[in-house]
Amino acid sequence: MLLNSSPKCFSVSSVVLTVYFFLAVTIGAQTAPASYALIPDNPRPGEPVTIGVRNGAGAKSAVLMVEGKRLTRAAFFSVSAENDSDGGKQSFMAAVLTVPATVKPGSRAVIAVEAAGGIIREITVAIAGREFISEVIELNPTLTGIRTEPDPRKTAEADHLWSILNRTGADSYHFGAFSPPVSSTRRTSFFGDRRVYQYSNGNNDISIHAGIDYGVPKGTAVNACGQGKVVLARNRIVTGNSVIIEHLPGVYSLYYHLDTIEVAEGALVNAGALLGLSGATGLATGPHLHWEIRVSGENTDPDAFIARPILDKEAILDKIYP
Ligand SMILES: [Zn+2]
């Protein structure tokens, strides 16, 4: 199920950028300390990038620049020291930023921005190429209605969802890699699938699949992919019985179409905790689990979080304190 993304785009004048590029090259070549880390070097569309920076650098947010526009943004949050015997040297600021699934490959820039909006550092990042699957989904009249009919409750539910996903809390619960939410590896849809919804009235709509669909039977245990706080556990019209967990400031995992919900809003859960049983509630053509990761509101490839830690403290520290 796709949720409409809320792109946060605003233009930067090319004059300002030209001046900035000149300064960046001049300063970067001569005096700039290695105080920023960007991991990985070559993210693909849909994948997250972690930016680490020393404390005191003044960076408030990281922004991905695409064709002169500030495309996605993530707030920096503090990552505390394992121990403080080194006088706080091991503490740093980090931001997790998503390269949207629609970004074309090529050389892009991630900028670190201060509170007033000024650019304090630019880091070049090479976006790798990626192919996505295309599929057509035919919806019967009931499912067509769920997707197309205006309904004040749907609008209120969408507003509530976005108020959660756009929130950057202060708490960090999970830095490592995620575990898949079900043991089955049978997938019926993949992250980034280009979908055409064929409505029963003959119209259609194009969207991008925001997560992974696991084709599991009704009643399959659905487990938390990582430690975190349950910030939503309720029924929604479009996504059915739904659970959302906050793992890091701005980083959320979402579990849709559940048959039953077994956790309460506000609960702290460990990785592997039972969240509910899978089902086919909401806009679902059959029993499955839709698992999705949102980073500062942007849908992000869950496989990237299974493959490596969300935030690799050691790798960041190696880069910012070489
Ligand atoms: Zn889905």
The residue ranges of every structural domain in the chain are 14-130+312-320, 134-307
> Is the pLDDT assigned to residue 237 strictly greater than 60?
yes
Contact 39, 304 (CB under 8 A): no
For the sheet containing 48-54, what is the strand order?
36-39, 48-54, 92-98, 77-79
Q: What separation in Å is there between the alpha carbon of 8 and the centre of ligand 1?
A: 24
Give the pairing type, strands 134-138 and 194-198: parallel
> Is the pLDDT assigned to residue 134 strictly greater than 90?
yes
Q: What separation in Å is there between the alpha carbon of 45 and the centre of ligand 1?
A: 18
Q: What separation in Å is there between the alpha carbon of 3 and the centre of ligand 1?
A: 10
Residues with CB under 5 A from ligand 1 (ion): 1, 213, 290
Contact 146, 208 (CB under 8 A): no
CATH 2.60.40.1930 fits 14-130+312-320, yes or no: yes
Q: What separation in Å is there between the alpha carbon of 123 and the centre of ligand 1?
A: 34
Contact 290, 255 (CB under 8 A): yes
- Look up tokens 């702290």; give the residue: 268
* pLDDT score for 35: 82
Note the Cα 70 to chain centre separation in Å.
17
- pLDDT band at residue 283, thresholds of 50, 70 and 90? confident
* pLDDT score for 11: 30
Kindly report which listed range (14-23, 39-48, 67-76, 155-164) carries the lowest average pLDDT score: 14-23
> Is the pLDDT assigned to residue 10 strictly greater than 80?
no
Q: What separation in Å is there between the alpha carbon of 164 and the centre of ligand 1?
A: 20
* pLDDT score for 165: 95
* pLDDT score for 9: 29
Q: What separation in Å is there between the alpha carbon of 29 and the centre of ligand 1?
A: 46
What lies within 8 Å, CB to CB, of 28 at 6+ separation is none
What average pLDDT does this structure show over 72-101?
83
Comparing 270 with 117, which gets the higher pLDDT? 270
What average pLDDT does this structure show over 306-314?
93
* Distances, alpha carbon 176 to alpha carbons 11, 137, 211, 314, in Å: 35, 35, 20, 11
Alpha helices, DSSP H, located in the chain:
14-30, 141-148, 152-165, 302-307, 313-320
- pLDDT band at residue 33, thresholds of 50, 70 and 90? low
Q: What separation in Å is there between the alpha carbon of 71 and the centre of ligand 1?
A: 24
Q: How high is the mean pLDDT of the chain? A: 87
DSSP symbol at 178:
P
Q: Domain 134-307 maps to which CATH number in 3.60.15.10, 2.70.70.10, 1.20.120.1200, 3.20.20.10?
A: 2.70.70.10
CA separation for the pair 69, 65 (Å, rounded):
5
- The token pair at 244 is 């959302």
Residues 164-220: tens digit of each pLDDT? 999 988 899 999 999 999 999 999 999 999 999 999 989 998 889 999 999 999 999
> Is the pLDDT assigned to residue 6 strictly greater than 50?
no
Whole-model pTM: value is 0.86
Contact 137, 147 (CB under 8 A): no
Q: What separation in Å is there between the alpha carbon of 196 and the centre of ligand 1?
A: 13
What lies within 8 Å, CB to CB, of 214 at 6+ separation is 180, 181, 182, 184, 186, 187, 188, 278, 288, 289, 291
What average pLDDT does this structure show over 221-239?
97
Phi, psi dihedrals of residue 49, rounded to the nearest 5°: -125, 130
Q: What separation in Å is there between the alpha carbon of 211 and the centre of ligand 1?
A: 6
- pLDDT band at residue 87, thresholds of 50, 70 and 90? low
